[in-house]
Amino acid sequence: MTFDNFSLHPQILRALSAAGYTEPTGIQSKAIPKILKGFDIRASAQTGTGKTGAFLLPALNRLTAPSAKSGKGPRLLIIVPTRELAMQVELQAQKYSRFLPHLKSACVVGGVPYSAQLRKLSKPCDILIATPGRLIDFMDRSKIDFSRLEILVLDEADRMLDMGFLEPVEQIVAATPAERQTLLFSATLQGSVKALSEKLLNKPMDIVVHTEHEKHENISQTIYYTDGLEHKNRLLNHILQMEEVERTIIFTSTKRHADELVDDLLAQGHRAAVLHGDMKQRQRTRTIAQMKQGEIKVLVATDVASRGIDVQAVSHVINFDLPRSPEDYVHRIGRTGRAGATGTALSFASHRDSFIVKKIEAFTGQKIATSAIAGLEPVVKQKKRFNAPQRKRFSHSRGRR
């Protein structure tokens, strides 16, 4: 299948071809025709699958026809959980609409001054990408006019609920026209996301795609059992010296721990930087840009800050601490192996983490191999799992410091 199979506007097809995208991804093949027909959609899709294109391409296509209503408010509203994701979505919107220069976008997110965003909102805007908190601020100041709104997208809805945005999201949706088309994308469609979708969507079509990529079968996943912090540090030091480890994202469970770890890595001479929610937006953007340019090789991140990091050629994701939820695990490892590449995800777990490992395996439907590095095995052996037959040893290491 090619993009020509969809009746997309020629200038959108031109932009896709300029981006070098020839074939739609699984989620795009399934979602685009249904969205073009005007259905509400409830889609389960992980990051890295092309989900942003799946909603942006048909939504932009609709915006190629003039609005039936006068006004200057947005016709397409995309609500996302984090600033980083908002910026990624805006970049993709600009990429796909580059030959439709009359379509204007604006991005309203927290953590940056109001003035520039206010200036943008005072001009006509077709596409508005927003995080819930800042959007509500502007709505409270009567700066947003939803009278022209045609399409509402809730991206990474599960994450928004995890972050406590249920009420703001409901408040925003209530302010939009009832006859809108609503598209909900989420890593999972269970529990509270399902309840929310039933409230906000009109007879939605469900889209669930289980492609190899979505199951992250292109990412080799391994668990190293560890005895504690000191053991984790030694393992990490060893792994970072392996030749095939290039751009790496390391996840920790807390901001404080991320700060401490990056200090250690810098002291050891690694080109490392930290990315977490306490940093100013400008710093976060600069850090991601430095990672993209290869100036930074190791990024130490927390879950919230990692949303929307779209850096190609990340060879390794290392879970220094396991995440609390299987959804976070899937999001984290999806930072490697992007757009069809292969990747490696290594997780450090203590023998007390077996429960979360089992939850992750049940969620992904995949068993994660356990391994150990010669000379760095845990003293506290993981019953059964550690003695599993798939245990392997690295023979290609360059030794430890």
Residues contributing to the site for ligand AMP (CB under 6 A): 21, 23-25, 28, 47-53, 92, 310, 338-339
| The two structure tokens encoding residue 14 | 């031109």
> What letter would DSSP give residue 48?
T
The residues pairing with 85 across neighbouring beta strands, listed in sequence order, are: none
Shortest Cβ 349–ligand AMP spacing (Å): 27
Q: Tell me the CA distances in angstroms from 303 to 112, 186, 392, 395, one per residue in order.
A: 20, 16, 29, 32
Closer by beta carbon to ligand AMP, 53 or else 74:
53
CA-wise closest residue to 366 among 232, 190, 223, 226? 223
| Contact partners, residue 265, CB within 8 Å, separation at least 6 | 240, 272, 298, 300
Taking the least distance from each CB to ligand AMP, the nearer of 100 and 341 is 341
At its nearest, how many Å lie between ligand AMP and the CB of residue 19?
7
> Shortest approach of ligand AMP to residue 339 CB, angstroms?
4
State the Cα–Cα distance between residues 240 and 271, nearest whole angstrom. Answer: 11
Residue placing its CB nearer to ligand AMP in the complex, 49 or 248: 49
- Looking at the Cβ atoms of 21 and 348, the one nearer to ligand AMP is 21
The smaller minimum CB distance to ligand AMP, of residues 127 and 236, is found at: 127
Shortest Cβ 359–ligand AMP spacing (Å):
24
Annotate 296-324 with DSSP letters as a single string. Answer: -SEEEE-HHHHTT---TTEEEEEESS--S
- The nearer residue to ligand AMP, 89 or 135, going by C-beta atoms, is 89
Which is closer to ligand AMP, CB of 23 or CB of 140? 23
Q: State the first-to-last Cα distance of the chain, in angstroms, to the nearest integer.
A: 51
Strands 272-275 and 298-301 turn out to be parallel
Q: Name the residue nearer to ligand AMP (CB basis): 91 or 266.
A: 91
Closest separation between CB of residue 52 and ligand AMP, Å? 3
DSSP state of 396: -
CB of 124 to ligand AMP, least distance (A): 27
Distance in Å, CB of 25 to ligand AMP, minimum: 5
Q: Residue 234 corresponds to which tokens in the numbers above? A: 């030694």
Rounded distance between C-alpha atoms, residue 182 and residue 397, angstroms? 51
* Selection from 99, 93, 169, 162 nearest residue 125 by Cα: 93
Compute the least distance from the CB of residue 398 to ligand AMP, in Å: 32
Indicate if the alpha-carbon torsion angle 75, 165, 33, 129 is positive or negative.
positive
Choice between 126 and 310, CB closer to ligand AMP: 310
Q: Which residue number is nearest to ligand AMP in terms of Cβ?
A: 52
**H/E element holding 18?**
helix 10-19
Q: Whole-number minimum distance, CB 49 to ligand AMP, in Å?
A: 5
Residue with tokens 């509203």: 77
